[in-house]
Amino acid sequence: MNRGEHDMKNYKIAVVAGDGIGPEVIGEARKVLDITAAKYGFSFNWNEFPYGAGHYLATGEVMPETALADMETCDAILLGAIGDPRVKPGILERGILLKLRMYFDQYVNLRPARSLPRVHTPVPLANGEIIDSVVVRENTEDLYMGIGDVTETGELDMPINVQRKTYTLKGKLSIHSDPSCHFAAQAAINSRPGVERITRYACDLAQKRGEDTVTVVSKSNAVPALYGFFEETAKNVICGEYPELKYEMVNVDALCYHLVRDPSAYGVLLCPNLFGDIISDLQAGLAGGMGTAAGGNIGDGISLFEPVHGSAPDIAGTGKANPIAAILSGALLLQHLGETKAAEAIDKAVSDFLGQASMEDLPFEFGGHATFEQVGDKISGKI
């Protein structure tokens, strides 16, 4: 790439470091990204956003609409983690993370799981086998629509007003029982445009990866409307539009069993939103640890890159957080920006570090004693 200094490409990135270990691991991701950018002839203009538990507890504000407009002017978003034990679950997660995914219509949640050098997999792999699979999670629908409530009067009347680029939903979730019956209801929706677009993404990815199968993760035996529809719609796309690909269906319960017996058995796992959330943590555990699982929330507009893990309040502030998941999410961000060589350099630096580090220099998660900062420094040194 022959770019003069004056026309050096500068990427404007929104950063939401968030809660718990979020700021710890994002600091290291930025460090590695800055060093990589300098080496590959581009730079970053980091735009920090303060949203998360600290901001909420101090101001009462979760995330204003103006933030969305500001982020819209950026090339991508880098996020650490959202969620804090001092705040009721859902307020920050829905009000920040899920809000961003829905607002920017990031319909793909891409979560690769790969074996890494010297990272112990809890299930032994057959000779020569590696884990190299990817969860392609539908990221805007299913039980995540946000249509639901709890009633203590036996009456539930919840207006539905969903505005999407692909469709609008208007109406009411209206359920009546007797006054003594307290209940909760949550509506899940999978739409034809929603399932078709994520299926096409999964198929294109399978072809890029040189695979011959897309595995659709379902549960149509117990929840035939919601997941039978997902399964059928996905099957029609795979068989109708991608004749060179094989369609395979596995129920999510059986998938957990098969994955634990043979974590290397799958390639592209196409999941409805909730199953994709759960399976991506299982995959992370099988591949060796939460601290290396990277992810991207991708759409046709602004995309967001973040580790699979959360704010890990149990280790926040101890130095024990593994920043590799955030660093590899940075590599996914670079891939998305088209900086392929720089992205590959980060992947290689992580593998080199893990392959060559002394036991002591490994993250706590892998039995070592290196803080997130020391791990970030060592990986930076390998770029």
Closer by beta carbon to ligand NAD, 138 or else 306: 306
Instruction: Please give the structure tokens belonging to residue 380.
Output: 């930076």
Options 130-138, 144-152, 205-213, 304-312: segment touching ligand NAD (CB under 6 A): 304-312
Strands 9-18 and 76-81: parallel
φ, ψ (nearest 5 deg) of residue 274: -65, -45
Is residue 19 part of the contact set for ligand IPM (CB under 6 A)?
no
Provide, rounded to whole angstroms, the least separation between the CB of residue 161 and Mn ion: 27
Q: How many Cβ atoms from other residues are within 10 Å of residue 124's Cβ? A: 9
Is residue 325 part of the contact set for ligand NAD (CB under 6 A)?
yes
Provide, rounded to whole angstroms, the least separation between the CB of residue 350 and ligand IPM: 21
Among ligand IPM, ligand NAD, Mn ion, none, residue 228 binds (CB under 5-8 Å by kind)? none
Query: 194: part of which helix (H) or strand (E)?
Result: helix 192-208
Is residue 299 part of the contact set for ligand NAD (CB under 6 A)?
no
The answer to whether the beta carbons of residues 272 and 227 sit under 8 Å apart is yes
DSSP string for 51-116: TTHHHHHHHS-S--HHHHHHHHTSSEEEEEE---TTS-TTHHIIIIIIHHHHHTT--EEEEEEE--
Provide, rounded to whole angstroms, the least separation between the CB of residue 371 and ligand NAD: 11
As a whole number of angstroms, the distance between CA 92 and CA 144 comes to 14
Within 145-204, which residues bind ligand IPM (CB under 6 A)? none
Instruction: Please give the structure tokens belonging to residue 203.
Output: 């198929």
Closer by beta carbon to Mn ion, 138 or else 277: 277
Q: Which of 81, 147, 270, 357 binds ligand NAD (CB under 6 A)?
A: 81
The answer to whether the beta carbons of residues 106 and 138 sit under 8 Å apart is no
Q: Which of 310, 332, 334, 380 binds ligand NAD (CB under 6 A)?
A: 310
Provide, rounded to whole angstroms, the least separation between the CB of residue 243 and ligand IPM: 33
Is residue 284 part of the contact set for ligand NAD (CB under 6 A)?
no
**How far is residue 243 CA from its own chain's centroid?**
29
Within 8 A by CB and 6+ apart from 203, the residues are 214, 237, 238, 241, 242, 245
Options 21-29, 44-52, 93-101, 160-168: segment touching ligand IPM (CB under 6 A): 93-101
- 333 burial level (CB within 10 Å; 0-12, 13-18, 19+): buried
Is residue 309 part of the contact set for ligand NAD (CB under 6 A)?
yes
Among ligand IPM, Mn ion, ligand NAD, none, residue 291 binds (CB under 5-8 Å by kind)? ligand NAD
Among ligand IPM, ligand NAD, Mn ion, none, residue 98 binds (CB under 5-8 Å by kind)? ligand IPM
* Interface with ligand NAD (CB under 6 A): 21, 25, 81-83, 89, 93, 97, 290-291, 306, 309-315, 321-322, 325, 365
